[in-house]
Amino acid sequence: MLCFTGTPMAVGSADPLPTPQHDPFYTPPSGWDSVTPGTILNSRPVEVASLEPQAQDADAWQLLYRTTDTAGQPMATVTTVLRPRTGQVKGLITYQAATNASAPQCAPSFALRQGAPDKYDASLDFIQIDQMLSSGHAISVPDWEGPKGSMLTPKQPGYAALDGVRAAQGFAPLGLPGTDTPVAAMGYSGGSFGTSWAAQVQPTYAPEIRLVGVAMGGWTAPIAHHLESLDSGPFSGFLPSILPGMMRADPRLAAAFDKYLTPAGQALMAAGDSTCMTPNVAQHAFQRMDDYLTIPFPQLLEQVQASLADLDFGPVAPTAPLFLYNAVHDEIVAIAGADQAVAQWCASGAQITHTRDQLSEHVSLAISATPAVLRWIDERLAGQAAPGGCSTRTVPSMSLGGA
């Protein structure tokens, strides 16, 4: 694989970390757009943070690589790759972090680094990354929103994840056996969106990747219903966090919102576009979008239904085995969307194991389900066939071993 060379950045510097828009590492070299997807354009060693004061006990690097945007045009983005310091890795997991914000400093490549200003948005990611490393996996954590923070756009998240896999396979320090590496994809909540697209586009975009299993939970589908359900509730702060990136990704959405946002609404979107998820959710709980628009929010969503429909799961089911898990009483993402997707994809011949957890809510399931999810992934990476056909089980709790 062709690889551009760059100057590594020192690890452990006492200087404040520059945000992506001010970090020259994120700027691709001349001629980058003519190379093949997955080509590494630059690399550097980094330290990845944990919930403890010390960094993750892992070797880690960041790779700037060439990928593709929603329109099919060249795009450069970054993945953070990690491997345990001891032992042989079992395989590679592309882990789509639960990125629920449009601001550049919320991208995983910045939020996960040791020395980033806060850990709130990435706290669940640290827990899951730690468990993946402890289980002996190499990990690729792509900035699946791309350099523009294009939140919730079709296809691009899948391209970014798969080209991150290609870059990881070609990065010698990870010690992976190239395209022979078995690969699994994993993501929860916002990360389920990127993971879903990776599963959907892999057969045509990256058929050489041995995608042996896809695990995703807290799935945010369908998008239109999800956006409307957030409005006026305790989690309405997600809206100013994610809508700016959605508008940036789709000119149709941008034109509609620009037409109907009041000056206060424009200010709200600008503020949300510069802040990460946790402060947005904390500051804007029970906010009514109708107070920032000249027409009712449901009416605006109806006008952009075509754009929103492009974001939802497609009618053609992924070919890789799927493990889906959702909380029956999820307070952020209604389980009805996941149930609908399972039914539709099963009818299209998908291989799905679907677990519905009765006792968990959104955040607790992300933590309690991880051991069961990683057991399922381990089996796939080891070459064990997934259960055939489709099955749905409702269990008291995945933490009790129900999967």
Residues 238/151, Cβ–Cβ less than 8 Å: no
User: Model's pTM, two decimal places?
Assistant: 0.94
The 8-class DSSP code of residue 292 comes to: G
Give dist(CA 166, CA 161) in Å, integer: 9
Q: What local confidence, expressed as pLDDT, does residue 274 receive? A: 92
C-alpha dist (Å) from residue 239 to 56, 179, 398: 32, 39, 30
Q: What local confidence, expressed as pLDDT, does residue 401 receive? A: 65
Which tens digit of pLDDT belongs to each residue from 75-85? 999 999 999 99
Q: List for the chain the helix, strand, coil content (%; round to 5).
A: 40, 20, 40
The series of mean pLDDT values per 10 residues for the chain, 403 residues long, is 46 72 96 98 97 93 98 97 91 94 91 86 90 94 94 93 98 91 96 94 97 93 88 96 94 96 98 92 96 98 94 85 97 91 92 96 94 96 94 93 60
Q: Which residues of 298-327 are buried (b: 16+ CB within 10 A; e: fewer)?
A: eebbeebeebbebbbbbeebbbbbbbbbbb
Q: What local confidence, expressed as pLDDT, does residue 13 receive? A: 46
Those residues with Cβ within 8 angstroms of residue 309's Cβ, 6 or more apart along the chain or in another chain: 222, 224
Q: Across the strands, what pairs with 74? A: 68
Give dist(CA 129, CA 135) in Å, integer: 10
Task: State the fold for domain 40-221+312-400.
Answer: Rossmann fold (3.40.50)
Q: Which long-range contacts (CB under 8 A, 24 or more apart) does 5-10 make?
A: 5/42, 6/41, 6/42, 6/43, 6/44, 6/64, 7/44, 8/43, 8/44, 8/45, 9/44, 9/45, 9/46
Burial (0-12, 13-18, 19+ Cβ within 10 Å), 209 = buried
Residue of 115, 133, 137, 248 whose CA lies nearest to 182: 137
What does 193-252 look like in DSSP terms, one character per residue? Answer: HHHHHHHHHHHHH-TTSEEEEEEEES---SHHHHHHHHTTSTTTTHHHHHHHHHHHH-HH
Residue bearing tokens 């809508």 = 243
Structure tokens at 242: 């994610």
Residue of 220, 231, 203 whose CA lies nearest to 348: 203
Q: Which residues of 92-118 are buried (b: 16+ CB within 10 A; e: fewer)?
A: bbbbbbbbbbbbbbbbbbbbbbbbbee
Residue of 309, 316, 305, 403 whose CA lies nearest to 360: 403
Give dist(CA 345, CA 314) in Å, integer: 9
Residues 215/373, Cβ–Cβ less than 8 Å: yes
Q: Across the strands, what pairs with 254? A: none
Q: What local confidence, expressed as pLDDT, does residue 11 receive? A: 43
Residues 283/237, Cβ–Cβ less than 8 Å: yes
Going from N- to C-terminal start, the domains of the chain cover 40-221+312-400, 228-291
Q: What local confidence, expressed as pLDDT, does residue 8 receive? A: 42
Structure tokens at 81: 């790759």
Residue bearing tokens 């395989």 = 91
